[in-house]
Amino acid sequence: MIKQIAIIMVVVGFYTSAMAGEGMLVFKTDPKDVEVHVDGAFKGKANEVMTLNVSEGNHKVKISKDGKTIEKEYFVPADGVVKVELALEGTQKKGKLAFNFIRIEPGSFEMGSNNGESDEKPVHTVTITQPFEISDHEVTVGEYRKFIESTGYQSPPNDCNFHKTGFEDHPVNCVSWDDAQAFISWLNLQAGKSIYRLPTEAEWEYAARAGTKTAWACGDSEWCLTQMGWFKTNSGGQTHPVKTKTPNYWKLYDMHGNVWEWCQDWYGAYPSGSVTNPVDASSGSSRVLRGGSWFNSAANCRSADRLGGTPDGRFDDFGFRLVRSAGQQ
């Protein structure tokens, strides 16, 4: 059976041709003459371009040709335009993503804090012996959408920013550790080799501190955090576009706030002595998240603050960023 891929992207904008409370589906297909069913009703053939007014909400769309079908559920916002580009396997463009990675050189630092929560102790020396590269921003809604479109993987819940218009440049939220791993597997499949992964907790804190020893990379004053991150004081209760605040000294954005970022490690107690290239705990019930979010206080956005979450946990302030080995692309 030939696998078919339906590709969808939300186009920011408004229109006036539909009734109040309606949105629009716009189809553009390759090949032509694909049969379109919406919520079980036949709507005709999509001859290059087809537009349909639909009510706000979720709609099951089935597209068929030559006995082959695929059915997916799409969310259409009121006054929103959802563009559906369909291509059979072998004709669709994969839409590779191009992240900007920052090379982080090896070094040692003091991990943890004596001025924070109990799980931040003891402060211990960590040595990272190999360079690595970390993306300068958190994975965005637009980037994550390409993964959903290409694979049919389950999208985040409907009340998350993935389904909102105008959020393409915001960090995707409601993403679990398991979801992040699925995204990374898809990227590695496109690359033809396993080069992408989540940062270890030690790599994350090393990169977040960027050579500093203060509460935040910008200093110990909460005022400086308003210049570097989105958190409870200045977020207005939502995520914000990535790379709109001041980066740290290593040119990494949003290491403090916006969304919590998943790390590779299981959440566990710190060692009492110096360690090299640690990946904490071999098993557990929770994975590590770092950085705080739009929902949290400044204290939760400190470089040393830690959070544990179940691998399948999806919350509206959970996201992630990528790491790869230095020199890989």
The 3-state DSSP composition of the chain as helix, strand, coil percent (nearest 5) reads 15, 35, 50
Report the Cα 224 to chain-centroid distance in Å.
26
Count CA atoms within 13 Å of residue 20 on its CB side.
0
pLDDT in tens, 17-72: 445 678 777 776 656 678 888 898 988 887 656 788 888 777 788 888 877 777 66
Q: For residue 322, which of 104, 133, 131 has the smallest C-alpha distance?
A: 133
Q: Which amino acid is at 151?
A: T
Looking at residue 93, its pLDDT comes to: 40
Residue 287 pLDDT greater than 70, yes or no: yes
CATH code where residue 27 lies: 2.60.40
Distances (CA, A) of 246 to 216, 317, 321: 12, 20, 17
Strand (E) or helix (H) holding 85: strand 81-88
- The number of beta carbons lying within 10 Å of the beta carbon of residue 87 is 17
Which one of 88, 114, 141 terminates a domain? 88
Looking at residue 316, its pLDDT comes to: 96
Say whether both 28 and 161 belong to one domain. no
Residue 266 structural domain = 101-325
The domain tally of the chain equals 2
Strand (E) or helix (H) holding 179: helix 177-191
Which one of 88, 119, 145 terminates a domain? 88
The whole-number average pLDDT for the span 87-104 is: 64
Q: Give φ, ψ of 226 to 5 degrees.
A: -65, -25
Map residue 265 onto helix, strand or coil: strand
Looking at residue 12, its pLDDT comes to: 29
Q: For residue 136, which of 238, 255, 298 has the smallest C-alpha distance?
A: 255
Domain assignment present for residue 132? The answer is yes
- The side-by-side arrangement of strands in the sheet containing 49-55 is 4-11, 81-88, 22-30, 49-55
Looking at residue 58, its pLDDT comes to: 75
Looking at residue 20, its pLDDT comes to: 61
Contact 307, 120 (CB under 8 A): no
pTM: 0.72
Contact 193, 94 (CB under 8 A): no
Average pLDDT, the chain: 86
pLDDT in tens, 211-256: 999 999 999 999 999 999 999 999 999 999 999 999 999 999 999 9
Map residue 250 onto helix, strand or coil: coil
Say whether both 73 and 138 belong to one domain. no
pLDDT in tens, 258-282: 999 999 999 999 999 999 999 877 7
Residue 84 pLDDT greater than 80, yes or no: no
Average the pLDDT over each of 5-14, 129-138, 285-294, 300-309 and give the range with the smallest value.
Answer: 5-14
Say whether both 105 and 47 belong to one domain. no
Report the Cα 13 to chain-centroid distance in Å.
23
CATH code where residue 120 lies: 3.90.1580.10
35-39: long-range contacts (C-beta < 8 A, 24 or more apart)? 35/63, 35/64, 35/65, 36/61, 36/62, 36/63, 37/61, 37/62, 37/63, 37/64, 38/62
Domain assignment present for residue 136? The answer is yes
Looking at residue 5, its pLDDT comes to: 36
Looking at residue 87, its pLDDT comes to: 53
The whole-number average pLDDT for the span 186-201 is: 93
